Amino acid sequence: MLLSTDIWVGALIRRAEIGGAFAVVVRKGDARAGAVLVKVLNRSDGTARLYAEATRMDGERVWMQPQLTDQEPDLDRYVERAARIDPDIWVVEIEDRDGRHFLTEPVERA
């Protein structure tokens, strides 16, 4: 990551707000190098998605869905497990009527 995590997270939240969504940090991790999970709540259909940052073999930073379920309780359990494993992890929650994630990096589809 070229930017520190706190600055990157702030930019993501700002993009979401400019796009008409609501975004908040629900778990704050290491400001300089913490990993990030992004949970997106689609208020129009009641589903949720979770995105985790990853690095491909070519070194490019991408986002992937570590859990393919769209049920929020399942995603919350994943986040809890991830936080126990990595106490420096950040969790950003975005509520959007269209379920947009506002990530600018590539998102890998499962």
- Tell me the sheet residues that pair with 40: 49, 94
pLDDT tier, 110 (very low <50, low <70, confident <90, very high otherwise): low
Domains and CATH numbers, the chain: 5-96 (3.40.1530.20)
pLDDT number for residue 76: 97
Question: pTM of the full predicted structure?
Answer: 0.93
pLDDT in tens, 30-88: 989 889 999 999 989 999 999 999 888 898 889 999 999 999 999 999 999 999 999 99
How many other CB atoms sit within 10 Å of the CB of residue 110?
Answer: 7
Question: The tokens of 26 are what?
Answer: 């629900």
CA 107/CA 7 separation, integer angstroms: 20
Q: What share of the chain is helix, strand, coil (3-state, %, to 5)?
A: 25, 30, 45
